[in-house]
Amino acid sequence: MADRVPDMSTKENIILVTGATGTQGHAVAQALLKSRNAVRIIVRKPSRWSETVLQLEQAGAHTVIADMDDEASLNAAMRDVYGLFSVQAMDDDTGSERRHADNLARAAKKAGVQQVVHVSASRTGDYESFPGWGDGKWNEQYWTDKRYAENVIINAGFNYWTILRPTFFMDNFLPPKAPFMYAGLETGSISVVFKPDKKLQFIDTADTGAFAAAAFNDPEHFNRKFIDLAGDELTIGEIVGEIGKVTGKVINVRYITEQEAINGGMFPALANYQEWTNAAGYVVDIDKLSSYCIPLTSFRAFFEKNKHLLNIK
């Protein structure tokens, strides 16, 4: 525990945001800038002039070029940083997720970073309770990599740390993700492995950003907490019903097995995720999150906000 809680109201403490060109890092950077924090974003050289980066710079963020596999660049990016937002991309078959977590935490600790807010995934803390765990049924490396990264942050010795564990993202129903995640949505018909009565839990990434910003601005209150995040829960039928109310279009759902989905062209890992949802799924106590006094976005509100992006024929 630190001797003195940092006064973030001075806005002199720099927060370094990783993953700023991704959905979660971008949402966190936006939330921090909205609350007038000093924000520095890490981007790789190919993304330097992307629209996302330029938008964040226009809002007040400062950009540094760094790579998770280049510790010298990470050391430079950490200079004078108070807080770190940590997120890693999934493993690329080289052990990258674990390696990047190690590199990032080592650079942060070396630079004297005081606080880390790390994004993981809901249910990372109890994956061994999944039905069929250990039988090769699920993508077990996904979960063990997430837990490894969490432990890296927890055990690094930072004064303050918070682990956010979001569920699936609402923007998976929007382009550019929707054509892959829910093929056929744009033409009004999708096939899913989800059971008709299974409640699915999702979160608006903007809400993840709000929780991260709140943690940085009140480190004592959020210190050493694991917070599972979901904003709403509906069956897939209810979800397409909500989309239909916003767009005025009817969307049909066909319920199939995991093997039928794969035979029909669904990416095997996606079909397996949907089957995992039936067997285990996310189980966030959404009502309990109200204790943080951070508004959560409902499906209806999310779709209303983003209806200009929905392109359903």
Separation of alpha carbons 97 and 145, rounded Å = 7
How large a percentage of the chain has pLDDT more than 90?
94
By the 8 A CB rule, do 173 and 234 touch?
Answer: no
At residue 118, does pLDDT exceed 70?
yes
CATH of 8-236+251-309, one of 3.40.50.1700, 3.40.50.720, 3.40.50.300, 3.30.200.20: 3.40.50.720
pLDDT score of 7: 56
pLDDT score of 2: 41
For 160-206, write each residue's pLDDT tens digit: 999 999 999 999 999 999 999 999 999 999 999 999 999 999 999 99
Separation of alpha carbons 58 and 27, rounded Å = 15
pLDDT score of 91: 94
What's the whole-model pTM score?
0.94
The domains of the chain are located at 8-236+251-309
Separation of alpha carbons 154 and 61, rounded Å = 27
By the 8 A CB rule, do 130 and 279 touch?
Answer: yes
- In this prediction, residue 49 has a pLDDT band, given cuts at 50, 70 and 90, of very high
> Which residue has tokens 């629209």?
51
Separation of alpha carbons 311 and 313, rounded Å = 6
Separation of alpha carbons 237 and 195, rounded Å = 10
Output the DSSP codes for 251-313: -EEEE--HHHHHHTT--HHHHHHHHHHHHT-----TGGGGGG------HHHHHHHTGGG----
